[in-house]
């Protein structure tokens, strides 16, 4: 824009125009939704110990024929302890008074949210990372997730012979969800015609990651945060949940918290998020890993 002047050019005003308007809404980058709260058991926070220990009892053999006058033999009922250690984690941000005060954004609550999200990302990373330690598994980096593969995987999971009243949770990679959707769409005539097709359509057609939907009595959701499987594939998994027999445990010995502490010699304050937790596999027979192509 030209400078503004009067007829005699006696007074000249230089440009005084702001060149940008910063959006006052605070936005964060996109992120895969967290699935961990839905697939782990979270016991009450540990007190005076950093180890969560859970016991698994072996099954006894069937009762034996007995003669009334005989003494009944005693069978040992000894549990195997499964230990999950917790450890301390922290993430901090220093907020200078001047920078915070000058910011057009609500930077303090925004940073609190970012710090808490970083804690949740640690839980998500650790819980999904357990998939590489699940021993029961099938598939490879070249396996395509199809309806047939779904049947194969769920049959193998079922063969592990554990009972649960809750629907098992199936965590798919995005590639697995893509291939499963492609399979029923290509075979739409045969699969989609039946009720099963409609159910599958609902289960894998969710618009967003992290949405749970039932298919064939499994709760299905997808995330890109599943770990690597085989050499170049993705590790997906089925796990039991619920109070009867969860496969995975996320134990806390210190709940996530954010505390602020002033540091006057730097003219500002620290916001520090901290928590102590451990994620572990409680019972291998309640989890099953299947590897698919990426």
The span from the CA of 144 to the CA of 218, in Å, is: 19
Among 125, 152, 206, 274, binds another protein (CB under 8 A): 125
Q: Give the list of residues 6+ apart from residue 294 with CB closer than 8 angstroms, or none.
A: 141, 173, 175, 232, 233, 234
Report if residue 85 touches another protein, rule: CB under 8 A. yes
Nearer to another protein (CB atom), residue 196 or residue 268: 268
Binding marks (x or -) toward another protein, 166..205, rule CB under 8 A? Answer: ----------------------------------------
Nearer to another protein (CB atom), residue 240 or residue 293: 293
Report if residue 135 touches another protein, rule: CB under 8 A. yes
Cα separations in angstroms, 122 against 119, 171, 275 = 5, 18, 10
- Tell me how many helices (H) and strands (E) the chain has: 7, 14
How many residues are present in the chain?
294
Nearer to another protein (CB atom), residue 136 or residue 210: 136
Angle in degrees, 0-180, between the axes of helices 174-186 and 147-158, rounded to the nearest 10 = 120
Report if residue 256 touches another protein, rule: CB under 8 A. no
Nearer to another protein (CB atom), residue 236 or residue 249: 249
Q: 57 has which bridge partners? A: 79
Using CB under 8 A as the binding rule, the residues of this chain from 223 to 242 that contact another protein are: 225, 227-228, 230-233
DSSP 192-234: TTSHHHHHHHHHH--SSTT--EEETTEEEEE-TTPPEETTTEE
Binding marks (x or -) toward another protein, 92..121, rule CB under 8 A? Answer: xxxxx-xxx-xxxx-x---x--xx-xx--x
Minimum CB separation of residue 88 from another protein in Å reads 7
Q: Could you tell me how many residues of this chain bind another protein (CB under 8 A)? A: 68
Report if residue 90 touches another protein, rule: CB under 8 A. no
3-class DSSP state of 55: strand
Report if residue 89 touches another protein, rule: CB under 8 A. yes
The span from the CA of 224 to the CA of 249, in Å, is: 21
Using CB under 8 A as the binding rule, the residues of this chain from 43 to 72 that contact another protein are: 51, 56
Report if residue 213 touches another protein, rule: CB under 8 A. no
Report if residue 133 touches another protein, rule: CB under 8 A. yes
Among 154, 179, 282, 288, binds another protein (CB under 8 A): 282
- Percentages helix, strand, coil for the chain (3-state, rounded to 5) are 30, 30, 40
What element of type H or E holds 83? strand 79-85
Among 139, 114, 146, 151, CA closest to 31: 114
Q: 241 near 41, Cβ under 8 Å?
A: yes
Report if residue 146 touches another protein, rule: CB under 8 A. no
Binding marks (x or -) toward another protein, 13..42, rule CB under 8 A? Answer: ---------x-----xxxxx----------
Which residues bind to another protein, rule: CB under 8 A?
22, 28-32, 51, 56, 80, 82-85, 87-89, 91-96, 98-100, 102-105, 107, 111, 114-115, 117-118, 121-122, 125-126, 129-130, 132-137, 140-142, 225, 227-228, 230-233, 249, 268, 278-284, 293-294
């Amino acid at each position: 824009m030209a400078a503004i002047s009067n007829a005699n050019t006696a007074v000249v005003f230089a440009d005084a125009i702001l060149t940008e308007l910063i959006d006052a809404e605070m936005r964060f980058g996109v992120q895969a939704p967290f699935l961990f709260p839905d697939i782990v058991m979270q016991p009450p926070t540990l007190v005076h110990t950093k180890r969560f220990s859970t016991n698994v009892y072996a099954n006894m053999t069937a009762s034996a024929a007995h003669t009334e006058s005989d003494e009944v033999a005693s069978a040992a009922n000894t549990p195997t302890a499964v230990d999950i250690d917790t450890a301390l984690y922290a993430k901090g941000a220093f907020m200078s008074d001047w920078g915070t005060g000058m910011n057009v954004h609500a930077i303090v609550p925004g940073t609190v949210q970012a710090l808490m999200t970083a804690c949740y990302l640690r839980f998500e990373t650790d819980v999904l990372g357990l998939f590489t330690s699940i021993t029961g598994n099938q598939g490879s980096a070249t396996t395509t997730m199809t309806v047939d593969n779904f049947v194969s995987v769920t049959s193998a999971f079922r063969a592990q012979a554990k009972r649960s009243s809750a629907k098992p949770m199936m965590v798919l990679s995005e590639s697995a969800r893509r291939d499963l959707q492609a399979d029923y769409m290509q075979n739409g005539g045969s699969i989609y015609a039946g009720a099963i097709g409609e159910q599958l359509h609902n289960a894998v057609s969710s618009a967003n990651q992290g949405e749970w939907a039932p298919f064939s009595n499994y709760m299905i959701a997808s995330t890109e945060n599943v770990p690597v499987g085989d050499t170049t594939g993705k590790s997906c998994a089925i796990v039991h949940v619920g109070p009867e027999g969860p496969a995975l445990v996320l134990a806390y010995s210190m709940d996530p918290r954010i505390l602020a502490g002033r540091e006057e010699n730097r003219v500002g304050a620290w916001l520090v998020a901290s928590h102590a937790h451990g994620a572990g596999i409680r019972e291998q027979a309640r989890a099953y890993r299947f590897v698919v192509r990426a």
